[in-house]
């Protein structure tokens, strides 16, 4: 596996691969790799000649300096995981100036309102930061296909929108949420939870499964009350929000319409760690 540590090395590598007519699959990450990331590489492996990943903890998408500071970083461990997986041909690990040559700041984006829902309300500026870094990485890596986890479903929608509006001609693929055996959605943030708290946090997934069972037989306001009751009973957990939203517009709904598809979204703070999850409702 090639380890590309700056923009110039990446560009030389990409040029060689393009000359050979290779189809490139790309999965950007912020490191602290886990099996969820490996599932992105597996999806990329199945559809491309070459799989590239990147590791870059993007400062502009953190609206909380403490969160950025605490974000787990261990590049040597990540490189070992990538090498052992055998799924990735090259990893790009840029320095801040490779992505932000002048100042580490976001570009303003118009994602047609997707940015104003859910995470956009709780994390102002977050999606401009994501759009900025992903657009820059796309321009440098020039992939044919790019892969993102559905755990960050709103991020996935926003990246699809940005790619379309900027005419980048990259196919964006969503990959199913990878869950631990107890159902907890895998996230780099889970490393900050004790084993016991990771076990307790399975209640998030179990609640989403219940919501899916209630869907279309119980009213949405009633579902919301039931979900709130579940988390009121969990010591040390605070539910930040729960909502059912239209999968396309991400707008919250209080009624079901037959011809639309819906997804439940939830954010819970567990011992100061912000866990997010979602589930498509059948």
Known binding positions for ATP: 30-37, 149-152, 186-189
173: left (phi over 0), alpha (psi -120 to 50) or beta: beta
Interface residue with ligand PAF among 40, 52, 88, 134 (CB under 6 A) is 134
> Among residue numbers 53 through 112, which ones bind ligand PAF (CB under 6 A)?
58, 61
User: How open is the CA angle 243-59-52, to the nearest 5 degrees?
Assistant: 90
Judged by CB, which is closer to ligand PAF: 93, or 133? Answer: 133
**Which of 37, 126, 173, 280 does the annotation list as catalytic?**
37
Is residue 130 involved in binding ligand PAF (CB under 6 A)?
A: yes
The verdict on whether 167 is a catalytic residue reads: no
- 68 and 57 Cβ atoms separated by less than 8 Å: yes
Of the ranges 26-34, 196-204, 223-231, 234-242, which one interacts with ligand PAF (CB under 6 A)? 26-34
Say if residues 42 and 129 touch (Cβ distance below 8 Å): no
Separation between Cα atoms, residue 56 and residue 136, nearest integer Å:
12
| Nearest approach, Cβ of residue 253 and ligand PAF (Å) | 26
The residue (of 73 and 216) whose beta carbon lies closer to ligand PAF is 73
Residue positions in the annotated binding site for beta-alanine? 61
Extract the tokens encoding 8: 């110039």
Which lies closer to ligand PAF via its Cβ, residue 133 or residue 204? 133
State yes or no: residue 237 binds ligand PAF (CB under 6 A): no
Give the contacts of 257 (CB within 8 A, at least 6 positions apart): none
**Does residue 222 contact residue 246 with C-beta atoms inside 8 Å?**
no
What span, in angstroms and rounded, lies between the C-alpha atoms of 198 and 47?
33
Residues that bind ligand PAF (CB under 6 A): 28-30, 58, 61, 130, 133-134, 152, 155
């Amino acid at each position: 596996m090639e380890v590309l540590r700056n923009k110039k090395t990446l560009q030389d590598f990409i040029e060689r691969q393009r000359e050979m007519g290779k189809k490139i699959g790309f999965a950007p990450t912020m490191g602290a790799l886990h099996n969820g990331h490996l599932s992105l590489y597996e999806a990329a492996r199945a559809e491309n000649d070459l799989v590239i990943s990147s590791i870059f903890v993007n400062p502009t998408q953190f609206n909380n300096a403490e969160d950025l500071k605490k974000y787990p970083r261990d590049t040597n461990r990540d490189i070992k995981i990538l090498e052992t997986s055998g799924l990735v041909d090259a990893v790009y690990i840029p320095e801040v100036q490779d992505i932000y040559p002048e100042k580490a700041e976001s570009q303003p984006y118009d994602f047609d309102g997707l940015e104003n829902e859910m995470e956009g309300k709780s994390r102002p500026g977050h999606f401009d930061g994501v759009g900025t870094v992903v657009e820059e990485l796309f321009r440098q890596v020039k992939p044919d296909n790019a892969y993102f986890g559905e755990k960050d479903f709103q991020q996935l929608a926003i990246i699809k929108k940005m790619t379309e509006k900027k005419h980048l001609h990259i196919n964006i693929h969503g990959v199913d949420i990878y869950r631990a055996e107890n159902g907890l959605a895998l996230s780099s943030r889970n490393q900050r939870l004790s084993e016991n708290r990771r076990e307790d946090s399975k209640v998030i997934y179990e609640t989403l499964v219940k919501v899916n069972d209630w869907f279309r037989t119980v009213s949405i306001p009633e579902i919301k009350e039931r979900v709130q009751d579940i988390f009121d009973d969990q010591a040390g957990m605070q539910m930040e929000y729960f909502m059912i939203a239209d999968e396309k517009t991400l707008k919250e709904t209080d009624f079901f319409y037959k011809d639309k598809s819906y997804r439940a979204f939830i954010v819970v703070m567990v011992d100061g760690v912000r866990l997010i999850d979602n589930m498509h409702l059948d």
